[in-house]
Structure 1
Amino acid sequence: MSSATLELLASRDDVWAFLAEPYHLSDWWPGITGVEPDRRGFAPGARWKVLATKRNVLAGPRPVETMLLIREIDLYERWSWHLLKPETEVEIRLRSDAPDRTSVTVTTSRGSARAAVKRLYDLVQTAATF
């Protein structure tokens, strides 16, 4: 498991609002290039069609379609999901450090939690300043 934490200069409400928008996932999760949420949207049990880039040393990058299952949501605190291919477990935790500061921890069974949390940092910082 890979885990990384960063403090964002944004309120927990702002960070949660960013995470709860399904179409933002492709902006911050490495390898995901598109998302089509089902009618449930951001809710436990929802299944999202995900477009991703699979990298192969010999064949190069190629697009693949897979499914993301939202496992659990604890409002403003935690979100866990499972990606079918490549099989990946992800958990995002938020902690309010101050009214305008939120620590986000990303834990993943595959890939770089640090890359994901850094992208979140870059995107949420920008959104919070406008």
Structure 2
Amino acid sequence: MPRYVAERILLAPLDDVWRFVSEPYHLSDWWPGISGVEPDRRGMAAGARWKVQGPGFLRKPETERVLLVREVHPMERVSFELPSQRIAVVLELRATDADRTSATVEVEGRFLFGPGSTVGKQALARLYDLVQTAAER
């Protein structure tokens, strides 16, 4: 299956970045193609099953799908899967400085070509814009 990796330095401390990405309702803010999230009672925990909404390929404009949270290692890594789209995602975070965080997104999926091959870069660009708590002024 095609696999794409994107990396970016975020202008925020690791704590701030983790706090943002570990909040289930923020997923629709930074992950392309998701416009709504309804997490289960476990929230950001391995084994959680969330309902997510977003545009469907050759389907209704807003389609409800399932997101499976695979791994959660606080302050380091989260992975999830969108089975209906056959996409697996890994987000890894690492502090590079007191106010900088390295973020790496790995996306693997059967139908990642053309615009689909840039979802990792798009996600990191959105995260960059949303978590700039330590941007130089």
Same fold (TM over 0.5): yes
* Residue matched to 1:98: 97
Structure 2 residue aligned with 1:51, among 42, 50, 53? 53
Q: Which amino acid aligns with 2:81?
A: H
Query: What is the rounded CA distance, in whole Å, between the counterparts of 2:57 and 2:130 in structure 1?
Result: 24
State the SS of the aligned residue for 1:14: helix
Q: Which amino acid aligns with 1:123?
A: L
* Residue matched to 2:36: 34
Structure 1 residue aligned with 2:19, among 17, 20, 31? 17
Q: Which amino acid aligns with 2:107?
A: T
State the SS of the aligned residue for 2:84: coil
Structure 2 residue aligned with 1:120, among 109, 115, 127? 127
Report the alpha carbon displacement of residue 65 of structure 1 after superposing the two structures with TM: 0.7
Report the alpha carbon displacement of residue 129 of structure 1 after superposing the two structures with TM: 5.5
Query: What is the rounded CA distance, in whole Å, between the counterparts of 2:57 and 2:46 in structure 1?
Result: 30
* Residue matched to 2:75: 76
State the SS of the aligned residue for 2:62: strand
- TM-score by length of structure 2 reads 0.86
State the SS of the aligned residue for 2:131: helix
- After superposition, the C-alpha distances for 1:67-114 in whole angstroms (9 at most, x for unaligned) are 001001111000001112211100000010001000100111243211
How many correspondences in the alignment? 125
Q: Which moved more, 1:105-114 or 1:92-101?
A: 105-114
Structure number with higher strand proportion? 1
Report the alpha carbon displacement of residue 2 of structure 1 after superposing the two structures with TM: 1.2
Aligned-residue RMSD, C-alpha = 1.7
Q: Which amino acid aligns with 1:29?
A: W
Q: Which amino acid aligns with 1:85?
A: S
- After superposition, the C-alpha distances for 1:34-71 in whole angstroms (9 at most, x for unaligned) are 00000001111011000011244xx8x71111000100
* Residue matched to 1:65: 64
Query: What is the rounded CA distance, in whole Å, between the counterparts of 1:2 and 1:116 in structure 2?
Result: 12
Contact map agreement 2:13 2:134 (CA 8 A) in 1: no
Contact map agreement 2:99 2:134 (CA 8 A) in 1: no
Query: What is the rounded CA distance, in whole Å, between the counterparts of 1:2 and 1:54 in structure 2?
Result: 21
Structure 1's unaligned 5+ residue stretches are none
